[in-house]
Structure 1
Amino acid sequence: MIPANTTGEGGTTVVYGADPRAAEPGPPVLDLYLDLRCPYCRAVENALGDTMRQLADAGELVLHHHFGTFLDAQLGGHGSHRALAALGAAADVGQPQFLTYLHTLYRNQPHEEHDGFAAERMLLGLANDVPRLRSRTFDDAVLDQAYDSWARRVGRVFDASGVAATPTVLFRERPVAVLDAAGDAVEPEEFVARIHDATE
């Protein structure tokens, strides 16, 4: 199964901000390379997620999400993979549901070494915070791991991308720093300035 609102071979990139089926060129792409168990990804999403969404809603860019699951192999467990499969089910519902669920997962991310996202009960419980996401179809997709094969494909594409660490952010295929030297997320104003500088 391939979720709606995806692009690329096998639908391995999840899109927010433009119709991935549109024939005409859309806004410039902001590529986000993430792992759902990554604490630095959580810091960036919590600090800059709303800003990225606003830029996409304004038509200034489109978000392309690329997800790795390598922390499962490094730390043990299945949390990155299971959360990604649940995100696939959310993407199939709609772009707003996907992005809000992504933010909710990061906001409630377990400690990096705790495999909390491997539990379907936690994934479904967090989905309660996302308007118009919970349904029999969504719940069954999570419980039956309907997007398991898709999530594995997404992880393999990430592994082959050459991206060595998360979070990695590219705008117009050029790196954009989202963490400072101390490993903290940059301020939204600084991030927006970097995007606008790259646009000019």
Structure 2
Amino acid sequence: MIPANTIGVGGTTVVYGAGPEAPEPEPPVLDLYLDLRCPYCARTENTLGGTLQQLADDGELVLHHHFGTFLDDRLGGQGSHHALAAAGAAADVGQAQFLGYLRTLFRNQPHEGHDGFAEDRMLLGLANDVPGLRRHTFDDAVLEGAYRMWARRVSRAFDESGVAATPTVLFRGEPVAVLDDRGQALPPERFLAQIHHTAG
């Protein structure tokens, strides 16, 4: 099964923003490489997520999400994989539900060493915070593991991308910083300065 709102062979990239019906020229792409258990990804999303959504909503760019699950191998467990499969189920409901669920997952991310996202009841419980997500189709997909095969395909595509760390963010194919030297998320104005410089 391949969720809606995905592109690429096997639907390995989750899109938020303008779709194939968007007027020409299509907005530039901002690629986000993330692992749902990565605390630095959570810092980035918690600080910059609203800014990224606004840029996409305003048609200034389109978000392409790429997910790895390498922290499952490094730390043990299946939390990255199960959370990614649940995010796929959310993407199948709609772009807004996907992005809302992604934000909720990062906002409620367990400690890196705790495999809380491996538990279906946690994944379903967090979905209560996302309007329009707790439909039977979403619940059934999580409980049945409907998108776990897709999640493995997404993870393989990440492994083959050449990206070595998360979060990695590219705008128009060029890297942009989202963390400072201390590993803290950049404030939105510093991030936006990079985007506008690259766009110019």
TM category (shorter chain) comes to over 0.9
Q: How far is 1:98 from its partner? A: 0.1
- Alpha-carbon distance in 1 for matches of 2:58, 2:22: 17
User: Shift of the alpha carbon at 1:18?
Assistant: 1.1
Shift in CA distance, 129/12, structure 1 to aligned 2, threshold 3 Å? same
C-alpha separation between the residues in 1 aligned to 2:124 and 2:31? 27
| Cα distance in 2 between the residues matched to 1:148 and 1:21 | 29
1:79-135, Cα deviation, whole Å (9 max, x unpaired): 000000000000000000000000000000000010000000000000000000001
Contact 1:5 1:20 (8 Å CA) reproduced: no
Rounded to whole Å, the distance in 1 between the matches of 2:189 and 2:152 is: 36
In structure 2, C-alpha distance between the alignment counterparts of 1:12 and 1:21, rounded to whole Å:
20
How many residues are matched? 200
In 1, Cα distance between equivalents of 2:48 and 2:22 = 27
- Asked whether the 8 Å contact 1:30–1:172 carries over to 2, the reply is yes
The amino acid of 2:166's aligned partner reads T
**Residue 59 (structure 1) aligns with:** 59
How far 1:22 moved relative to its partner? 5.5
* Structure 1: tracts of 5 or more residues without a match: none
Partner-residue secondary structure (3-state), 1:122: helix
> Any residues of structure 2 matched to 1:157-168 within 5 Å, and which?
157-168=157-168
Matched letter for residue 43 of structure 2: A
Normalised by the length of structure 1, the TM-score is 0.98
Partner residue, 1:43 = 43
Deviation at 1:25, TM superposition (A): 4.7
Residues 20/104 of structure 1: CA separation in 2 closer, same or farther (3 Å cut): farther
User: Structure 1 residues 20, 154: CA separation in 2 closer, same or farther (over 3 Å shift)?
Assistant: farther
Measured against aligned partners, the alpha-carbon deviations of 1:127-184 in whole angstroms (never above 9, x if no partner) come to 0000000011110000000001100000000000000000000000000000000000
2:120 is aligned to 120
**Aligned-partner residue type, residue 115 of structure 1:** D
**Contact 1:6–1:20, Cα closer than 8 Å, also in 2:** no
What is the CA–CA distance in structure 2 between the aligned matches of 1:67 and 1:11, rounded to whole Å? 12
| In 2, Cα distance between equivalents of 1:20 and 1:30 | 16
State the identity as a percent.
75
Q: What residue number does 1:170 align with? A: 170
What's the CA shift string for 1:172-200, capped at 9, x where partnerless? 00000000000000000111111011000
> What's 1:32 paired with?
32
Distance in 2, matches of 1:72 and 1:52, equals: 27
Local SS of the residue matching 1:9: coil
CA distance, structure 2, for counterparts of residue 20 and residue 67 of structure 1: 22
Is this contact kept in 2: 1:7–1:20, CA < 8 A? no
If the length of structure 2 is used for normalisation, what is the TM-score?
Answer: 0.98
Asked if structure 2 preserves the Cα contact closer than 8 Å seen for 1:36 and 1:84, the reply is yes
2-structure distance, mates of 1:21, 1:8: 16
1:13 matched residue in structure 2: 13
Aligned to 2:154: 154
Other-structure match for 1:108 = 108
Q: 4+ residue runs of structure 1 moved beyond 4 angstroms?
A: 20-25
